[in-house]
Structure formats: structure tokens, C-alpha cells
Amino acid sequence: MAGQATDRQADDPGGVLRLTDIRMRFGPVEVLKGVSLNLRRAEILGLLGQNGSGKSTLIKVLAGFNSPSEGSGVTLWGDTLPLPLDAARIRRMGVAFVHQHLALVPSLSVADNMLIGDDRRRGPAGIRWRRERAEMRALFDEFGLAIDPSALVSELSSVERAFVAILRAVAQLRRSEAGAAGEGILVLDEPTPFLSAEDVDKLFTLLRQIRAKGASVIIVTHDIDEVLAITDRVAILRDGELDALMVTAETTRQAILDRIVGRSITPFRRAPAQPRPEIAARIEGLSGGQLRHFDTTIRRSEVVGVTGLIGSGFAEIPYLLFGAMQGAGQVTLDHALDVAAITPRAAMAAGMGLIPGDRTHQSCVGGLTVEENATFLQLPRYRAPAGLRRQGLVDAARGMIRDYDVRPDRPEVAMSTLSGGNQQKVVIGKWLAQDPRLLLLDEPTQGVDYGARQQIFAALDRAVAAGTAILCASTDAEQLAQICDRVLVLRRGTVGAVLQGDQLTRDAIARACFHDPAPQNATKLSEATA
């Protein structure tokens, strides 16, 4: 296959970073099996693979968190470094990291966060804040960003927070030994899951500017379209090995997909189906946050998507309906509920379920076991006079693990040890076990690898076939096109376009988010949302 990894490619003499035969074990399990990889100067290299393929472990070796096996080698700027790597030395030599959750402190200012971990900015009289803020403003201006260093991080948008984390790393690079020569390496671990398509474009513009100034970038991601848009080459890990190293301009989306999964794969798409005539939920006058007014009717076995640009109000809809956010309006399932007074407990009693977009903080408890996370909502079913029927809970968890192909298949391990995709399978299985009348989703495949994504879609499809209605809020136009019967596009807090039938394509959904509806379509909105 074109672009397949070879030893000659891994030994490219133009490299600024060389990883040689990297091996890593956790107990008896070999997670990395001899990975050799080379990063070139002023290159953006994509690192892909399914959850559990070894991407994060490889990045942690480079960051000095993991100690690889004897025989592994790392060469940076021509110097062979002792292992395990010293994190402080790596930073001084010009390697900076931006982790998925950004490592920002929301209660501190942008300026405070920009200086976290950099003791060199502290002089005998302390930090010279006026000078530091002036330098930060100059850095933000250089990349066309209007961010106030005095602002609290909690006041920033998602994309602004991402930019702060990235430019903090850029500032660290420039103060490093490599930065003095106009070089440096920026490592981004899943930087885009919480960003809209519009914000991803802004981020990629920033990365191209960084590359143009001589730095190299490694970007870890699950999004193949992002890889095609931003990278020069793409490295694919599978089962702890480098399976392929491809020149991005010489490969295709399907070729990358097949390499990631290890076989030819057809993307999931729901078969056309007629929703049942029974109404699952009627939503009237819903408002709250940036949502001004939202009406729609969702039928049994129907999947309705809501989308739009950030700030259009679509993202608030699942949380308003579930009582997780204060709002107004009415939702009717078996009976009418006042949104202003609804609570999550009342929403669940009425037949609703909510799967939030922030899996780590809102969907599961990392310190509890898989069994405890999987069966938390089912505890009332297993109550007995002497307490809980433990064996029943274990059997239920094992059944869910089997049905949703959760790996590893061990209910006793901590939820935090599972990959993002496997955690999401547990979360979805937990809610579908409740047989909800209306399931509310917010970015259900955010940060999930391609294989797990298809499994999640299949699980949702089985629930829909059994009669569950789904409302899915997402900025992922491809995902909405794959699973929805109807997509409502919000603009300025209200429904601005409705897409269904042949209109349900990724491109049509993306275009609808940026353009006003034609006059002849606007008159049909009330009919299409009913």
C-alpha cells in the first residue's frame, strides 16, 4: 500500500527527533513493540490509531512520564538522550506539550496560566508582571488573537483556552535552546474534541503559522479529515506497532481508515426507516442560555440532530430538557413538564436519559470500577432485604461488557484505566439499559476512535429500532449525516434550517451552519420541525 512504513523512512536523515525501537511494558503486557519514528524540521506529523494502540504511551515516553524498556532510543537535535527522559531537560531542549485537557487552571488569569511551571520568569524581586503581560499581548497579536492576559481562563471560550495552552507551549519553545535557533517541537494530544469546525479551522491556521516559523508539530487525533487537512505525513499505530507511515498528499481517507482498523471497513449509516407514528416528546418554547426559542416534535424510533455554530444555542438543548441547566418552556412525554421546574430526577422518571459531552467529569467516575459505573443506575433493581445482590450486579456488568465489546473485559478494573472509546461504550450501555423513551446526546463520539465510533452507532441503532427516540447535539456534521433522520440547524438561538432526506449529507449540514436559509425554505420551518 502506498505510504507504508519502511526502515528507510524511519531513518530519514532530515529528522529533528528520532525514536528508535521504543518498547514499553506494563507488567506482562507489551504496549509498545519496537516503534521507530522520525520527525522532520518544520513538519506537521499526524499520529493516529485506535484507542489502546499505544499513541498516548508513546507520547508519555517522549514527555518523560513513562520509562521504556532497555534498548529503546531517543535522539533529539542529534543528541542521544538517556532514558527515561528528564521532563525538565526535554522542555529546555525545545519540546513542549499540550495535553487533551489543556492543563489550565480556570480560576487563575491567562497570565498566571502562561507562567505555570516556568520558574525562569521569576527574578530576585519576583515576577515583573507588567513586562510579562506586554510580552504575552505581543505574542497573541503576532498570531492574530485578541486575548486579554488579565482575563480569567474561566471567562474564555473553548477555542480561546486551546489557544492559550498552545501559545504557552510556543512561548516555552522560544525560550528553549532550540527556540534560539528558530526551531522546536510542539506535541498536541487530541487538541480538537471540544472545538467546533470553525474553531478547528482557526487552530489549524495557528499551527501552519507555527510551522512556517520553523517549528515541528506532532498532532495526536482520531479525526481523519483533520489529518488530511493539516498534516504532511501520518503515522499509524496498531497493537503497539508502527503499522504505516504515509505521505498525506499521496494517500486517501479510506486508505487511512483501513490501516487504523486493520481491515477494509464501510462507515456506518442508518438504513432509511419510517419513524413510528407515536410521539415520544413534544418540545415547546424551550429557551435558556443562548437558546431563544425552540419547538419540535420527536417521534418514537426517530433520531433528530441539532447543530449550528458555537453560540447558536443548540448545545444547551439536551441540558435544558434534562434539568441540568436553568431554562423555560415545556416538554411533554407521557405528561407535560415545566422546564423551569424540571430536575434530572424528574426527567429520568419521565423517561429521559442524558449522555453529556464531558465524559471525564460528567458521565463517569474514574475512581470507581467498570462494574460500579455500568450498574449505578440499576441499583434499585438489585436491592434485597440484606442489601444489594452483588452477584446480580456483577452479572449485569459482565453482560454489558460483552454486548458492547468493552475492552478489557474486566468489570473489576477502574473506569479510568479504559480508553475513551471503551468508557463511552460503558456510559451508553448504562443509559440504554434504562430503556429511555428519549435519549439526549451531546457529542456522543467526542474523542472516540473510528472502530469504537461504529460500535456506538450500531448500539444506538438497536435502541432506536426498539422504539427509543434520540435527540443528538453535535458539531460533527459527518456523524449527524450518518445517524439522523432529521437535522435542525440553529442560528442566533432559533431554528434556521431543517435538513432531511437527500439533504442529510456532511457538506449540506456544514453549509447550512454558515448560510441563511433560502426564503422558500424559511416558510416551511414550522412544518418541518413538527
Give the pLDDT of residue 201.
82
Q: Does residue 1 fall inside a structural domain?
A: no
* Phi (first) and psi of residue 475, to 5 degrees: -95, 0
Last-in-domain residue among 435, 451, 477: 435
Q: What does the pLDDT look like over 52-104, one tens digit per residue?
A: 788 989 999 999 999 999 999 999 999 999 999 999 899 889 999 988 778 89
Q: What does the pLDDT look like over 302-323, one tens digit per residue?
A: 999 999 987 899 999 999 999 9
Q: Do 160 and 289 lie in a common domain?
A: no
Q: Do 415 and 515 lie in a common domain?
A: no
* Residue 99 or residue 518, greater confidence: 99
Q: Do 202 and 226 lie in a common domain?
A: yes
Q: Do 34 and 58 lie in a common domain?
A: yes
| CATH label of the domain that carries residue 224 | 3.40.50.300
Angle at 164 between CA 109 and CA 101, to 5 degrees: 95
* Residue 295 or residue 171, greater confidence: 295
Q: Do 209 and 141 lie in a common domain?
A: yes
* Residue 251 or residue 123, greater confidence: 251
* Phi (first) and psi of residue 348, to 5 degrees: -65, -40
Q: Do 151 and 281 lie in a common domain?
A: no
pLDDT at residue 389 is higher than 80? yes
Q: Does residue 83 fall inside a structural domain?
A: yes
pTM listed for this prediction: 0.70
Exposure pattern of 70-96 as b/e (b: 16+ CB <10 Å)? eebebebbeeebebbbeeeebbbbbbb
Residue 386 to residue 149: CA distance in whole angstroms: 58
Helix and strand tally (H, E) in the chain? Answer: 19, 24
Q: Do 217 and 331 lie in a common domain?
A: no
Q: How confident is the model at residue 200 (pLDDT cuts 50, 70, 90)?
A: confident
Q: Do 235 and 215 lie in a common domain?
A: yes
Q: Do 404 and 527 lie in a common domain?
A: no
Q: What does the pLDDT look like over 411-422, one tens digit per residue?
A: 999 998 887 888
Domain encompassing residue 372: 364-435
Q: How many independent structural domains does the chain possess?
A: 3
Four-residue CA torsion sign, 58, 51, 402, 379:
positive
Q: What does the pLDDT look like over 202-211, one tens digit per residue?
A: 788 888 988 9
pLDDT at residue 273 is higher than 90? no
Q: Do 394 and 458 lie in a common domain?
A: no
Q: Do 178 and 312 lie in a common domain?
A: no
| β-bridge mates for residue 288, sequence order | 291
Residue 440 to residue 422: CA distance in whole angstroms: 19
Region 280-302 average pLDDT: 97
Q: Do 499 and 465 lie in a common domain?
A: yes
Give the pLDDT of residue 349.
96
Region 33-43 average pLDDT: 96
Give the pLDDT of residue 468.
96
Residue 378 Cα distances to 370, 393, 416, angstroms: 14, 8, 21
